[in-house]
Chain A
Amino acid sequence: MSIGVVVFPGSNCDRDVQWATQGCLGLSTRYLWHESRDLSGLDAVVLPGGFSYGDYLRCGAIARFAPVLESLVDFVDQGGRVLGICNGFQVLTEMGLLPGVLTRNRGLHFLCQTVDLTVASSRTSWFRGFDKGDVLTLPIAHGEGRYQCSEETLRRLEDEDSIALRYSQNPNGSVADIAGVTNSAGNVLGLMPHPERACDPLLGGIDGQIILKALLG
């Protein structure tokens, strides 16, 4: 059982994810260089936070063409678990693996805070042990985290119970307070908060552990 962490040249939370999964949780983890197409032996893939290829054009707009992600579509189809954190979430929406888009925060500033979130769905196994309505505390750090989608998509997300996390106090203007969504199959989760920053007791909260542990089932 092993986790792969994608490394784009501008990823900057790749090491933090590895520290959390391998260092704090003891889950076997290896890096996936953006030019590699080899996902063999992996049960889960994490797209970490950062600025993939600089993101000067639009977050994730270039990353969606990365060689490593060509293999990811098949990986998802075969039921592999994929977690997109922050920039990783942006990339997943650009790839169309998750619906919606992430635009600049309502206040137009980058925002680094620790926020309360409610678990909005217990359909998938990403939040095992949590019930709908339970509160998690996780750090956020993004400039473009305002989740937006059409009314139709929002209805579909609600109907299929794919809204995973909502902000208790919406920090960035996201539609319906959405902080994270899953695909309909439930094996892909994208979220703006950083679970890897809430795994190490020395740094404070450990609410992120549950999400990262779910990578390996």
Chain B
Amino acid sequence: MSQPLDNSTNYDIASALKQEGLKLDDYKEICRRLDRPPNRAELGMFGVMWSEHCCYRNSRSLLNGFPTKGPRILVGPGENAGVVDLGEGQRLAFKIESHNHPSAIEPFQGAATGVGGILRDIFTMGARPIALLNSLRFGPLDDKNNISLLQGIVSGIAHYGNCVGVPTVGGEIAFDPSYSGNPLVNAMALGLMETTEIVCSGAKGIGYSVLYVGSTTGRDGMGGASFASSELTKESIDDRPAVQVGDPFLEKGLIEACLEAFKSGDVIAAQDMGAAGLTCSCSEMAAKGNVGIELDLDLVPAREVGMTAYEFLLSESQERMLFVVKPGSEQRLIDSFKRWGLCAGVVGKVLEDKVVRVLQNRQIAAEIPAAALADDTPINKHELLTQPPSEVKDAWSWNESQLPRLSSSGISSLLSNSKKTDVTWNEILLMLLDDPTIASKSWIYQQYDYQVQANTIIPPGGADAAVIRLRSQDDNDYSSRKERGIAAVVDCPNRWAFLDPERGAMAAVAEAARNLSCVGAEPLAVTDNLNFPSPETSKGYWQLASSCKGLAKACIALNTPITGGNVSLYNETRLSDGTLQPIHPTPVVGMVGLIDQLSNVRGQAWLSENDSIWLIGIPLEQLNSDEKRITLGGSSYLERIHGIVSGRPPEIDLTLESLVQSFVRKGISENYINSAHDISDGGLSVALAEACISSGLGASIQLPNSEVRIDRMLFAEGGARILVSISSENLSSWEDFIAETIPVDSGVFAAQKIGKVTLAANLLISQGSSTLIDLSVQKLKTCFNQAIPSRVEFQ
């Protein structure tokens, strides 16, 4: 029999609390819940479970406003991943998660294990991972450190995803000085359910065995969850042991073995060991099942000798899972995991008594009521500003009259460089295409295997969203219907979120849905990743609260419930002068959509010569400065050309978004539309250039004569706008379709013919008799494709 609890408290409370990232009030609360002081191992368990990473102590009250239910939502927030019903017996699990802090100090392994972790969230539910996406942020590429972070993180993602055999089909990347030293790595995974029942994490069955499967437990990744919940400093490099080391080869076996085990029906509950390792999986499984769990550390496969209970409990060694299994099935399951070269063994049992009891050397090393760890976790209360901070209000006061004079040939001067005068529109467009945030990301996505599994319909770079066919990997029946697909996208306009966190968050949702609509997919649901600076400053908390409000509003309006996600706070770097550099608020939206007919998928490239080019959304003539839904404020043009991050980003009109998007989806499903591309960073001219670059065809565009500033016409952003091309034989039925669908003078939106696709590979934009832009597609392409390689490849 085990000996009573080791309740020694011979540790220095103040330094232990600091190490665990806990406050004195937390300690008092722990003592109250336990009715005694915790021992050191128990304190460590509370430290990780009560970190922002595990319990959302700063953000929980803000997340309550999210819409989480809908007819298609099978599993919402709280489980390992969200699950949506796709109809026809298919269900999709998906989730996004960050690995920002680990990637900042150990880019390769930090990013690799970020991928491994999100994959486990998916297959723990009984779903086979079918696609990966990622959202990345870096500081500018003129700094060697940022280049090496980019190289390390991209190869880490490639290493893990490529080896494990899940295609990385899409993503987004942006560069801004605020991310120097604190890059963001958000990985999203999608999986197709292969089991009849969704595998959940609540333990059941008193006396049933707890089975440990996967890799061994070592000292790597100690306390990663608490480390992820504090700011980065120069000394953070010393925390490198808190970064785990991933083994995608083991994970590949773990996927196969777990799916086999789940299909056998022998597994009652499953929980992966991610943040906070054994502590988190035991307490979550116990608390959710309203039971207890006993864990004998002497039975846990260890990769090192002499590990203390504290180290076992807080280790974040990768590729490990915990199951509760049916009595009698233990040996069968163990054999099946061993076949894949994995560890497997019974390490404990389910208890009626609702405690997490940890044994080591026949002594109770820790014993905590499961609810004390996992339920009613502390909330940090913050005062919410009633007004935007003054620097934000100042930025909003910027207006276009502060820009230099312009003419049809260009702009008289640049605010960023007084020596440069009379800059042509051609030069400006090329400068925008050379902006790494806008430019081609092929240097990055070619390092990812985006084709494995033989379902990738639209590879990265081909359209506004990635598209994969829905086909089970077990299904070899070629004759059955396999015409349905899933579209997925990640998005976040961080510059807008910085200038206006609510509008930025709304825009992230709106653009993600617009991207899905452009390929012809019906948006279904969202997973969100809130990357923010410290919530402990009034501005930081205001940014977080405003973004959450924006996300909630937009997800409600666009009918895309949030099924879960991740919160990453304290993304800031302490600079050498002692000041803190916070990141731009970055509420990343991952969205999935359903495609009923894969033959109806559209790319962004023009298809054929003489197709007419149309602009859907707010028409160009309406772009006077009273129109707040389209603006140069917060635009790429303003930042890249004039060196200003200011102004107020566009107002997000969700009714307009919804109408424009459903109009385009309908136009696609009825086969009028040949290509569709949303207008995003860099405005109309960049969107046109991208459609030319993807197709190799040219375009001839005639802008309406108007009083509107030319740079506003060419480069302003916002307005739910989509570029489509229509073949000439469809033109009259398309015009009928417009007349039927958009009421005349609806005042909401219009479809406006602006030009045509040309065989001559030139982008020509004119207004009246003046030529504004005239560039060869080859020139556009070279500039667009070389922007990133020319900055990062070893010279």
In the complex, what residues of A have CB within 8 A of residue B457's CB? 202-203
Distance (whole angstroms) from the CB of B701 to the closest CB of chain A: 30
Closest residue to A50 on the B side, CB-wise? Answer: B165
Find out whether the CB atom of A112 lies under 8 angstroms from the CB atom of B450: yes
Find out whether the CB atom of A12 lies under 8 angstroms from the CB atom of B447: no
Q: Judge if B448 is at the interface, Cβ distance under 8 Å.
A: yes
Given A18-B476, A143-B162, A109 contacting B155 (CB threshold 8 A): yes
Find out whether the CB atom of B163 lies under 8 angstroms from the CB atom of A12: yes
Find out whether the CB atom of B478 lies under 8 angstroms from the CB atom of A23: yes
Q: Which of B278-293 contact A (CB under 8 A)?
A: none
Interchain CA distance A148-B432 in the complex, whole Å: 41
Find out whether the CB atom of A110 lies under 8 angstroms from the CB atom of B165: no
Find out whether the CB atom of B452 lies under 8 angstroms from the CB atom of A19: no
Given A50-B165, A143-B162, A202-B598, A16 contacting B446 (CB threshold 8 A): no
In the complex, what residues of B have CB within 8 A of residue A16's CB? 452-454
Interchain CA distance A110-B451 in the complex, whole Å: 13
Q: Judge if A53 is at the interface, Cβ distance under 8 Å.
A: yes
Distance (whole angstroms) from the CB of A136 to the closest CB of chain B: 16
Interchain CA distance A16-B252 in the complex, whole Å: 15
Q: Which of B163, B447, B478 contacts A109 (CB 8 A)?
A: B447
Find out whether the CB atom of A141 lies under 8 angstroms from the CB atom of B162: yes
How many residues does chain A have at the interface if contact means C-beta atoms less than 8 Å apart? 34
Q: Judge if B340 is at the interface, Cβ distance under 8 Å.
A: yes
Q: Which of A1-52 contact B (CB under 8 A)?
A: 9-10, 12-13, 15-16, 18-20, 22-24, 26, 49-51
Name the segment of A117-125, A160-168, A192-200 touching the other chain: A192-200
Find out whether the CB atom of A13 lies under 8 angstroms from the CB atom of B447: no
Q: Judge if B626 is at the interface, Cβ distance under 8 Å.
A: no
Q: Which of A157-207 contact B (CB under 8 A)?
A: 194, 196-197, 200, 202-203
Find out whether the CB atom of B249 lies under 8 angstroms from the CB atom of A12: no
Q: Mark B469-495, 1 if CB is under 8 A from A, else 0.
A: 100010011100010000000000000
Q: Judge if A80 is at the interface, Cβ distance under 8 Å.
A: no
Q: Judge if B102 is at the interface, Cβ distance under 8 Å.
A: no
Interchain CA distance A24-B475 in the complex, whole Å: 12
Closest residue to A171 on the B side, CB-wise? Answer: B446
Closest residue to A194 on the B side, CB-wise? Answer: B451
Q: Mark B435-459, 1 if CB is under 8 A from A, else 0.
A: 0000000000111111111111100
Closest residue to A10 on the B side, CB-wise? Answer: B249
Distance (whole angstroms) from the CB of A175 to the closest CB of chain B: 22
In the complex, what residues of A have CB within 8 A of residue B162's CB? 110, 141, 143
Q: Which of B164, B449, B469, B478 contacts A112 (CB 8 A)?
A: B449
In the complex, what residues of B have CB within 8 A of residue A72's CB? none
Q: Judge if A111 is at the interface, Cβ distance under 8 Å.
A: yes
Q: Which of B155, B165, B454 contacts A203 (CB 8 A)?
A: B454
Given A10-B163, A53-B249, A202-B457, A23 contacting B452 (CB threshold 8 A): no
Distance (whole angstroms) from the CB of A184 to the closest CB of chain B: 32
Interchain CA distance A134-B454 in the complex, whole Å: 25
In the complex, what residues of A have CB within 8 A of residue B453's CB? 15-16
Q: Judge if B247 is at the interface, Cβ distance under 8 Å.
A: yes
In the complex, what residues of A have CB within 8 A of residue B454's CB? 15-16, 19-20, 196-197, 200, 203
Find out whether the CB atom of A10 lies under 8 angstroms from the CB atom of B252: yes
Closest residue to B483 on the A side, CB-wise? Answer: A202
How many residues does chain B have at the interface if contact means C-beta atoms less than 8 Å apart? 34
Interchain CA distance A160-B755 in the complex, whole Å: 58
Q: Judge if A71 is at the interface, Cβ distance under 8 Å.
A: no
In the complex, what residues of A have CB within 8 A of residue B450's CB? 112
Interchain CA distance A24-B457 in the complex, whole Å: 16
Q: Which of B111-168 contact A (CB under 8 A)?
A: 155, 158, 162-165
Q: Judge if A153 is at the interface, Cβ distance under 8 Å.
A: no
Find out whether the CB atom of B452 lies under 8 angstroms from the CB atom of A51: no
Find out whether the CB atom of B446 lies under 8 angstroms from the CB atom of A113: yes
Q: Judge if B253 is at the interface, Cβ distance under 8 Å.
A: yes
Q: Judge if B389 is at the interface, Cβ distance under 8 Å.
A: no
Find out whether the CB atom of B252 lies under 8 angstroms from the CB atom of A111: no
Given A9-B340, A141-B162, A202-B457, A51 contacting B249 (CB threshold 8 A): yes
Q: Which of B449, B456, B482 contacts A110 (CB 8 A)?
A: B449
Q: Judge if B265 is at the interface, Cβ distance under 8 Å.
A: no
Interchain CA distance A99-B478 in the complex, whole Å: 37
Q: Judge if B704 is at the interface, Cβ distance under 8 Å.
A: no
Interchain CA distance A110-B158 in the complex, whole Å: 8
Find out whether the CB atom of A13 lies under 8 angstroms from the CB atom of B165: yes
In the complex, what residues of B have CB within 8 A of residue A10's CB? 163, 249, 252-253
Q: Judge if B341 is at the interface, Cβ distance under 8 Å.
A: yes
In the complex, what residues of B have CB within 8 A of residue A26's CB? 478
Find out whether the CB atom of B452 lies under 8 angstroms from the CB atom of A13: yes
Given A24-B478, A111-B446, A202-B598, A12 contacting B252 (CB threshold 8 A): yes
Interchain CA distance A177-B670 in the complex, whole Å: 46
Find out whether the CB atom of B449 lies under 8 angstroms from the CB atom of A141: yes
In the complex, what residues of B have CB within 8 A of residue A20's CB? 454
Q: Which of A91-147 contact B (CB under 8 A)?
A: 109-113, 139, 141, 143
Interchain CA distance A50-B249 in the complex, whole Å: 10
Q: Which of B415-469 contact A (CB under 8 A)?
A: 445-457, 469
In the complex, what residues of A have CB within 8 A of residue B155's CB? 109-110
In the complex, what residues of A have CB within 8 A of residue B455's CB? 203
Q: Which of B253, B456, B476, B478 contacts A9 (CB 8 A)?
A: B253
Q: Which of A9, A139, A202 contacts B451 (CB 8 A)?
A: A139
Closest residue to A53 on the B side, CB-wise? Answer: B249
Most chain B Cβ neighbours within 10 Å, of A10, A55, A197: A10
Q: Mark A55-94, 1 if CB is under 8 A from B, else 0.
A: 1100000000000000000000000000000000000000
In the complex, what residues of A have CB within 8 A of residue B447's CB? 109-112
Distance (whole angstroms) from the CB of A206 to the closest CB of chain B: 12
Given A110-B158, A112-B450, A141-B451, A51 contacting B476 (CB threshold 8 A): no
Find out whether the CB atom of A197 lies under 8 angstroms from the CB atom of B477: no
Closest residue to A33 on the B side, CB-wise? Answer: B339
Interchain CA distance A202-B155 in the complex, whole Å: 30
Q: Which of B250, B252, B469, B477 contacts A23 (CB 8 A)?
A: B477
Q: Which of B214-251 contact A (CB under 8 A)?
A: 247-250
Interchain CA distance A56-B246 in the complex, whole Å: 12
Closest residue to B474 on the A side, CB-wise? Answer: A15
Most chain B Cβ neighbours within 10 Å, of A22, A49, A141, A197: A141
Find out whether the CB atom of B247 lies under 8 angstroms from the CB atom of A54: yes
Find out whether the CB atom of A15 lies under 8 angstroms from the CB atom of B340: no
Distance (whole angstroms) from the CB of B34 to the closest CB of chain A: 43
Given A12-B165, A51-B163, A197-B451, A203 contacting B478 (CB threshold 8 A): no
In the complex, what residues of A have CB within 8 A of residue B158's CB? 109-110, 143
Interchain CA distance A18-B445 in the complex, whole Å: 26
Interchain CA distance A139-B448 in the complex, whole Å: 13
Distance (whole angstroms) from the CB of B442 to the closest CB of chain A: 9
Interchain CA distance A110-B449 in the complex, whole Å: 8
In the complex, what residues of A have CB within 8 A of residue B449's CB? 110, 112, 141
Given A51-B163, A56-B249, A202-B457, A12 contacting B446 (CB threshold 8 A): no
Interchain CA distance A54-B162 in the complex, whole Å: 11
Q: Mark B250-294, 1 if CB is under 8 A from A, else 0.
A: 101100000000000000000000000000000000000000000
Find out whether the CB atom of A22 lies under 8 angstroms from the CB atom of B476: yes
In the complex, what residues of B have CB within 8 A of residue A51's CB? 163, 248-249, 252
In the complex, what residues of B have CB within 8 A of residue A197's CB? 451, 454
Given A12-B163, A23-B477, A202-B598, A112 contacting B340 (CB threshold 8 A): no
Interchain CA distance A56-B451 in the complex, whole Å: 22
Distance (whole angstroms) from the CB of B161 to the closest CB of chain A: 10
- Could you list 19 examples of A-B contacts with CB < 8 Å? A9-B249, A10-B163, A12-B452, A24-B478, A50-B165, A54-B248, A54-B249, A55-B163, A109-B446, A110-B162, A110-B447, A110-B449, A112-B447, A112-B448, A112-B449, A112-B451, A143-B162, A202-B482, A203-B455
Q: Which 6 pairs from chain A and chain B are nearest by CB?
A: A12-B165, A54-B249, A23-B478, A16-B454, A141-B449, A23-B476
Given A15-B454, A16-B453, A109-B446, 4 other A-B residues pairs in contact with their CB atoms under 8 A: A9-B340, A51-B248, A113-B446, A141-B452
